Every structure is written in C-alpha cells, then in structure tokens.
Amino acid sequence: MTRTDTIVAPATPPGRGGIGIVRVSGPKAPEIAAVLLGELPPARTARFARFLDAAREPLDAGLALFFPAPHSYTGEHVLELHGHGGPAVLEAVVQRILEIGARRAQPGEFTLRAFLNDKLDLAQAEAIADLVDAGSREAARAAMRSLQGEFSAMVHGLTEAVTDVRAHVEAAIDFPEEEVDFLADRQLHDRFHTLRDHFDAVEQSARQGALLREGMTVVIAGRPNAGKSSLLNRLAGYEAAIVTPIPGTTRDIVRERIDIDGMPLHVLDTAGLRDSADVVEAEGIRRAHEQMRRADRVLFVIDLTSDPDARAYTQERERLPRDVPVTLVLNKSDLSSGIPLADTLTGPPRIAVSALTGAGVERLREHLKDCVGFRSVEAGTVSARRRHLEALRRARDHVAAAERRLRESRSGELVAEDLRGAQQALSEITGEFTSEDLLGRIFGSFCIGK
Ligand SMILES: Nc1nc2c(ncn2[C@@H]2O[C@H](COP(=O)(O)OP(=O)(O)O)[C@@H](O)[C@H]2O)c(=O)[nH]1
Ligand SMILES: [Mg+2]
C-alpha cells in the first residue's frame, strides 16, 4: 500500500439507485479527469460532464467534482463522479479509470489516507465508520460528536493533565537534593487526585458511547412454557417468535435487535431448559447454554403460576455460566396474586412481569439499562469503542502505579516512567502512536469506498 498510488472505488453502496458516485484519490486524479472527461473541472465546482470510454463514447454522464490537494477528504487530489446508480454502469466507469491509471481501493483506504494526511485522527476515523453503522438516532448523534473531535478533545485534555504531573515530577529529578521534598509535596498528591476524577469523567462518557455502539446481549432462558417467547415478543413489540401452549415450541435460537433509548439490546430466545429425549430439542438446549456463556446477562423466566418458589432456577443454577449475571423474571403475574419474597435479599434481582399484558416490562427495560450503567443519552455522549475503553483503562493503571510508587519509593524516575506509559496508552486512542497492525484492523473493517 503506497500513497503514491491513485485509488478508485464506488462510494455509494452496491445495487441500484438514483445516483452512483465513483471516487478517485491520488496524484493521478487530474490526469484521469482530463482523459475521462476531456477536461479538468475547475476546483470545487460541480460541472456536468460525459464520462468517456477509450473510443470517446460516453459510458455515463453526470456531475464531476475536483478537489485539489490538500483541501479534500483524503488530503490528496480527489475526483468525484456522480453518475447513475446502476452496478454495470458504475463498474464500467471504474474499469475505465483503472485503464487510465489507478488501482482499486481497499476497504477504508480513503479514510486511512485522510488519517495519514492528518485530516482526522484515529478516533475521528472510527467515528466515520460508527456514523455509517449507527443503528439509532442517538448513536448517530454520538458518532457525529466524536467525528467533530469532541472525544479526541477529551482524550487530549486528559493527556495534558498527565503531562503536567509528569513535568512536575521531572522537575524534581532535575534537583536531586530536593527530590524527596518535591515528591512529598501535598500539591503533587492533590494533582493525582484530580487526575483520577478526570479519568472517571472521560471513562464514563466513553462507556456510554461504547454501549450505544455495541449495546448488550441478553439470553432469555427458563423452563418450557414459562413465557420466554412471549417475553421476547413483548420486548420486541411484535410477534418475533412463535408462542403456543405446547412445551418445547422454540428450538432454534430466535434473535432480535431491540432499541432501548438508543442502546441496542440483542435479545435471544432459546429452547426451554428441561431433560428432553427429543434430539432436536436437546440440541436447542445445548445451544441455549452456549449462548448464555456469551451473554452479558441471562433473563431466567419463571412461571409464577406453576413455580411460585422459582425452583426451576434453583435446579438449573449449577448449569448456568458462573460469570454471567442473572435476573429472575417472574412471569404471568396477571394470574398470580403474590410475588414470592424468599431469597430476595441474597439471590439475583427479581422482576415481576406479565408478558401477556405487558405489566412490569417497562421496569425490566429500566433494570437492563441500570445493569450496564446506561443512562439515557446526555448532551455530551460521544461514540467510543471497546478499544478506547481498554486504552483508557491501561492509562489509568499506569497512573495508579505512578501514584503507588510515589508513596512507596519516592523515586521520581520511576514515577515519570509510569506517567509516560499513561501518555502512550492515551495516544493510541487518537492514533499519534499506532502499529500497522492496529491500523489494518481498524480500516479493514470499513466498507470499500470509505
Ligand atoms: N396468563 C399469561 N399467560 C402467558 C404469559 N406469558 C406467556 N403465557 C402463555 O404461556 C404459554 C407459553 O408461552 P411461550 O411464550 O410460548 O413460552 P416459552 O415456551 O417459554 O417460550 C402460551 O400459551 C402463552 O400465551 C403471561 O404473562 N400471562
Ligand atoms: Mg418458546
């Protein structure tokens, strides 16, 4: 992948549409325009043009736009051709451009070039993909904030705060006679304290952003006929799964993506847990266990009418994955007078609902949001990814280590070293410090033409 190549790809999704856009970026873009269109359009001005083949017959006609470097998306010369949105006609235009002297772009390569040319930082580049993929208006808004640099600004603010503390510590190293006094300074301890609060605030914001993007996965489990499929349908708001009074109806996993205040909730309905002789149902039960192990939470549905003491849960508990938290959903509350109170203090949280009438389902939704710490999207929510959260955590660990060393060893050198580690971890978020490998992973997941 060299940046002296000129790349080309359709920028609109494959399929048929009113308009199809082909994008070209690189040093040869002006030459390609001259050959394909017969002339180079004036900078940043839409021009009607015919897109010509080798025999100068038009392949298509539409608008041509030329963005001279460095004032373009990628920072290179960019040519945009807005033609008709048919797969064959778009491919013909791309083919002609390949002949003139470009190569096909790899996924995310336009945005990678924008990153390499300092048009945007890594967190902003990721925000572009998040904006394209956003599954809700809230997620789109958060991605837009990150794209505008709000998240990067938070991370830079944090980096500056770490740098300040490090400067203070390094000043101490420069005056060895006074080093111990310097490092025992009350002010330095206060700064560490402020730094911790600062980390909390940024992490909180990033966590909300990551939840908006990735959401949570819950598996609905329980005995046959407890009302699992009814609960899924109630959460989804339509009949996604088949509901019958016959136990063992659900065998395949039924998945639904539901939106709670913009947070994606992936809900999986599973075969009822029982000792079944039927091979098909047994396979369904095996899959249910497999999905539970991967879930963020298990909703264990109890039929209050037949199992008021939630014995099904007590019996199955051993077989449930140990590290996945459970909520007991006490269903069919419309038919049951009281809710069992035994174990309420020690066992998993319990929520009474009626999948039939919908009573209690709103409370269940709120409960799920609380479980992952999702707040309804506040003004400042930015989009963020797991990668960012991990880097923040590593940076915070380095700061904690620095603080510990300060207390224990009073060695300025070592404290400064830890703080350098924190800075490095933070710089991975915005991409001042990145490996080829990480870039490959991030941009490889983009679509072609982005
Ligand atoms: N009265 C009442 N019946 C329910 C409720 N939830 C489910 N049912 C009924 O219980 C039966 C089994 O429901 P289903 O959702 O298929 O259970 P699953 O086997 O756990 O998926 C069906 O006849 C449902 O109509 C509820 O909250 N109240
Ligand atoms: Mg079912």
Residue nearest to atom 28 of ligand 1 (CA): 332
Segment 370-379 mean pLDDT: 77
Residue of the CA atom closest to atom 9 of ligand 1 = 227
| Distances, alpha carbon 65 to alpha carbons 281, 282, 313, 449, in Å | 60, 61, 64, 16
Domain check: are 343 and 236 in the same one? yes
- Cβ atoms of 259 and 215 within 8 Å: the answer is no
Contact 269, 241 (CB under 8 A): yes
Question: Looking at 1-10, 140-149, 411-420, which range is the least confident one?
Answer: 1-10
Q: What is the pLDDT of residue 30?
A: 97
- Best residue among 223, 243, 336 to mutate for probing ligand 1's pocket (most ligand atoms within 8 Å of CB) is 243
Cis bond upstream, residue 70 (ω within 30): yes
Question: What tokens does 383 get?
Answer: 């989009």
Atom of ligand 1 nearest to the CA of 233: 15
Which sign does the torsion angle of CA 37, 38, 44, 45 carry?
negative
Distance CA 427, CA 402 (A): 18
Label residue 180 by pLDDT band (50, 70, 90): low
pLDDT of residue 251: 78
pLDDT tens, residue by residue, 321-354:
999 999 999 999 999 876 655 555 578 999 999 9
Among 1-10, 81-90, 190-199, the least confident range: 1-10
- How much of the chain exceeds pLDDT 70, in percent? 96
Query: Among residues of the chain, what percentage have pLDDT more than 90?
Result: 65
| pLDDT for res 342 | 55
Closest CA to 311 of 328, 286, 332: 328
The span from the CA of 192 to the CA of 355, in Å, is 50
Cβ atoms of 37 and 50 within 8 Å: the answer is yes
Do 301 and 155 share a structural domain? no
Q: Which two tokens stand for residue 27?
A: 């040093």
Bridge partners of 85, per DSSP, are 17
Strand arrangement, sheet containing 7-10? 47-52, 58-67, 78-85, 17-25, 7-10, 103-104
CATH number at residue 106: 3.30.1360.120
Q: DSSP class of residue 176?
A: G
| 254 Cα: distance to centroid of ligand 2 (angstroms) | 9
Answer yes or no: do 51 and 99 share one domain: yes
Residue with tokens 């039924």: 254
Domain-embedded: residue 76 = yes
What is the mean pLDDT of the segment spanning 420-440? 90
Domain count, the chain: 3
Is 80 exceeded by the pLDDT of residue 176?
Answer: no
Q: Do the beta carbons of residue 20 and residue 13 sit within 8 Å?
A: no
Domain C-terminal end among 73, 100, 121: 121
Q: For atom 22 of ligand 1, which residue has the closest CA?
A: 245
Same domain for 204 and 224 = no
CA gap 446, 83 in Å, rounded: 23
Residues 16, 107, single domain; the answer is yes
Between CA 279 and CA 282 the distance in angstroms is: 5
- CATH of residue 252's domain is 3.40.50.300
Of 32-46, 139-153, 216-230, 325-339, the one with minimum mean pLDDT is 325-339
Specify the pLDDT at position 339. 61
Which of 225, 228, 230, 235 has most ligand 1 atoms within 8 Å of its beta carbon, as the pocket-test mutant?
230
Instruction: Tell me which residue has tokens 């190293």.
Output: 173
Q: Are 198 and 296 in contact (CB under 8 A)?
A: no
Q: What are phi and psi of 170, to 5 degrees?
A: -70, -30
Residues 163 and 69 both lie in one domain: no
Q: Could you tell me if 260 and 312 lie in one domain? A: yes
With beta carbons less than 8 A apart as the criterion, state whether 77 and 69 touch. yes
Note whether 30 and 74 are same-domain residues: yes
For 293-310, the pLDDT digits (tens) are 999 999 999 999 999 989
Residue whose CA is closest, atom 14 of ligand 1? 227
pLDDT number for residue 410: 75
Please check whether residue 257 is in contact with residue 372, taking contact to mean a CB–CB distance below 8 angstroms.
no
Give residue 314's domain range: 216-372
| C-beta contacts of 356-363 below 8 A and 24+ residues apart | 356/227, 356/230, 356/332, 358/234, 359/333, 359/334, 360/333, 361/231, 361/234, 361/235
Closest residue by CA, ligand 1 atom 2:
332
Task: Give the separation between CA 198 and CA 42, rounded to whole angstroms.
Answer: 48
pLDDT confidence tier of residue 1, bands split at 50, 70 and 90: very low
Q: Indicate whether 114 pLDDT > 60.
A: yes
pLDDT of residue 215: 87
Q: Which of 84, 4, 13 is nearest to 50 (CA)?
A: 84
Does 410 reside within a domain? yes
Segment 137-162 mean pLDDT = 94
State residue 376's pLDDT score: 66
Under DSSP, the state recorded for 377 is P
What is the rounded distance in angstroms from the CA atom of residue 392 to the CA atom of residue 427? 10
The Cα–Cα gap between 404 and 396 comes to: 12
- Which amino acid is residue 55, in one-letter code? A
pLDDT digits (tens, 9 = 90+) for 233-248: 999 888 878 888 888 7
CB distance 46 to 85 below 8 Å: no
- Whose CA is closest to 329, among 348, 351, 345? 351
CA of 347 to the centre of ligand 1 (A): 24
- Pair 299, 220: CB distance under 8 Å: yes
Of the candidate ranges 64-68, 203-207, 409-413, the one whose mean pLDDT is the lowest: 409-413
Report the 10 Å Cβ neighbour count for 69: 16
Answer yes or no: do 136 and 262 share one domain.
no
Give the pLDDT band (50/70/90) at residue 378. low
Say yes or no: CB of residue 291 within 6 Å of ligand 1.
no
pLDDT at 154: 95
- Indicate whether 398 pLDDT > 60: yes
d(CA 423, CA 412): 16
Evaluate: CB of 389 within 6 angstroms of ligand 1: no
- 145 Cβ closer than 6 Å to some ligand 1 atom: no
Q: What is the overall mean pLDDT for the chain?
A: 90
Residue 203 clears pLDDT 80, i.e. is over it: yes
If asked whether residues 339 and 222 sit together in one domain, one would say: yes
- Looking at the fold, whether 205 and 153 belong to one and the same domain comes out as yes
Q: Domain boundary at 95, 121, 147, which?
A: 121
Say yes or no: 204 and 228 in one domain: no
Judge residue 338's burial from the number of C-beta atoms within 10 Å of its C-beta, 0-12 exposed, 13-18 middle, 19 or more buried.
exposed
**Residue 367: per-residue pLDDT:** 95
d(Cα 26, Cα 103) in Å, to the nearest integer?
A: 10
Residue whose pair of structure tokens reads 């308009």 in the numeric block: 19
Q: Which atom of ligand 1 is nearest to the CA of 242?
A: 16
Does the pLDDT at position 379 exceed 80? Answer: no
Q: Which ligand is nearest to the CA of 273?
A: 1
pLDDT digits (tens, 9 = 90+) for 253-280: 888 999 888 888 999 998 888 887 688 8
Tell me whether residue 367 is in a domain. yes
The pTM (predicted TM-score) of the whole model is 0.80
For residue 354, the ligand 1 atom closest to its alpha carbon is: 27
446 domain-assigned: no
In this prediction, residue 263 carries a pLDDT of 87
Which among 1, 16, 5 has a CA at the least distance from the CA of 91? 16
pLDDT of residue 406: 87
* Residue length of the chain: 450
